[in-house]
Amino acid sequence: MPAGLILAIDQGTTNTKALLVGRGGTPLFRTSSPIAVILSANGFVEQDALLLWDSVRKSIAECMAYAVEAGATIEAVAISNQRETAVAWNAESGLPVANAISWQCGRASGICNRLARIASEFRAKSGLPLAPLVSAGKWAWLLENDGAINVLAGSGKLRVGTVDSWLIHQLTCGDVHATDLSNASRTGLLNLHTLEWDSDLLKIFGIPREAMPRLQHSSSSFGHCKAIPGLEGVPILAAIGDSHAAMFGHGCYAPGTVKTTYGTGSSLMALTPGLVAETPTLARTVAWSTSTGTQFALEGNIAMTGSGVQWVGEFLGLKNPATDAAALAAMVEDAGGVYFVPAMVGLGAPYWDSDARGIIAGLSRSHTSAHLARAAVEAIAYQVADVLFAMENTAGLVIRELHADGGATRNAAMMQFQADILGRPVQRSADEELSALGAAWLAGLALGWWSSLRELESLPHPADTFDPAMDEAERGRLYRGWANAVRRARLAVEAHA
């Protein structure tokens, strides 16, 4: 057992995970704590920021107990986090002024529609489509709809940030208000050309600059822990968005590398040689930044992948919705022509259609609940294929394989279907907690445990390979059926207006 460990926190939508990572670069202990998602009657998606913090404290406590028993010391803390989720709090009391608005929440659609005239300027500066996903619209909604928050902003006491900033504030007892460039690039307020908060965008969304966090490299010092007994003085040496952290954790840093993180939603990210020209279907983003430079990427975000399977399980009244739905799906060889488009909160990349709505298509009298469950699992692979094909078609990338991570990759049948529908190999990481691991590696760079990305590339990266086994004609037939179902989903609102 090495004397020093890095404690990596991965605060996600449905749970907080934590790892202890040693100098060999691999996890030595892991734990997790579940998180509730609040679904309101008007369709808003929220989370209690204090409960997010409680889940982090619980995970930290379990890691610390293991370290004490093993006679090891924790040398640094690293954070990866769900990204566009928007938190707002009082700088004096340190308490949230509203529930955190989830990245899945579409309440900012009206604001985006109102600002449609600046959509081109917004994309050119931020790299993002003007969509309800971005944090800026969520903070603007709070400022427009809560008078108390407006008063707080006027007094200079309002603080806003993504989940990383909230956790850094809590861990340091309010000493540090900061974020890294990867998380900042998902807010819609970072100018990708200057890597600074953009004054014009702040003004357009009505967000005071003094409420925003300080910008830092992903691998840098975010202050020292004060809030956790026994962890006092331990530096926070990394903060990064979870999808970016997973990209880093794959250990492949060459431009053209593409990965998908399969979770509640999914993110495809492709590393680029620099900040590339705009594309109509994909986002440009900061992948990560260190003292040696900033890595840019193209990204496509999908709102509902794992949560689509969860929804079907709930719809069918299953006791453990996601797990039982996946087991039900395994009872049939295919979906039998059924397509499920999980557009309950609209469609993300490559469509960016917030008006689309979920549909089930292709049902016949012979279909069963197992076919619907299978269609939900296959919908994950179809949505990933949509984004990957857009990366090739609009960005000129040649993608020979896909790197995969996240909890849903444990479903081998889904991974095989993914390879089949893509027509190329899928490399599944053997480590489910790749986001936490990537954050730990960034902290290790700041600690001097590893000196370069090349050294990290030399660490073990165990993976399973799924090779495509479906013939081209069948692949084309299935994908055309999916495309037709998506067209119907995009017409759903108009048809029922």
The three-point CA angle 342-367-467 to 5° equals 65
pLDDT at 170 over 60: yes
Range 227-243 average pLDDT? 96
Residues 6+ apart with CB under 8 A from 328: 313, 316, 318, 369, 370, 373, 374
At 423-448, the pLDDT tens digits run 999 999 988 789 999 999 999 999 99
Pairing of strands 73-81, 236-241: parallel
The three-point CA angle 173-179-184 to 5° equals 150
Question: For residue 71, how many other CB atoms are within 10 A of its CB?
Answer: 8
What pLDDT does residue 348 have? 87
pTM score of the predicted model: 0.88
Report which DSSP code applies to 224.
Answer: B
SS3 label, residue 380: helix
Helix (H) or strand (E) holding 139: helix 135-145
At 81-107, the pLDDT tens digits run 999 999 999 999 999 999 999 998 989
* Residues 185 and 135 sit within 8 Å (Cβ to Cβ): no
DSSP 262-319: ESSSEEEEEE-SSSPPP-SSSEEEEEEEETTEEEEEEEEEES-SHHHHHHHHHHTT-S
SS3 label, residue 137: helix
pLDDT at 494 over 80: no
What pLDDT does residue 495 have? 47
pLDDT band at residue 461 using 50, 70 and 90 as cut-offs: confident
Range 298-312 average pLDDT? 92
pLDDT band at residue 1 using 50, 70 and 90 as cut-offs: very low
pLDDT band at residue 496 using 50, 70 and 90 as cut-offs: very low
Helix (H) or strand (E) holding 197: strand 196-197
* Residues 403 and 395 sit within 8 Å (Cβ to Cβ): no
Q: Could you tell me the domains of the chain?
A: 4-242 (3.30.420.40)
Portion of the chain with pLDDT greater than 90, in percent = 84
Helix/strand/coil (H/E/C) assignment for every residue in 20-87:
EECCCCCEEEEEEEECCCEECCCCCEEECHHHHHHHHHHHHHHHHHHHHHHCCEEEEEEEEECCCCEE
At 357-400, the pLDDT tens digits run 999 999 999 999 999 999 999 999 999 999 999 998 877 778 89
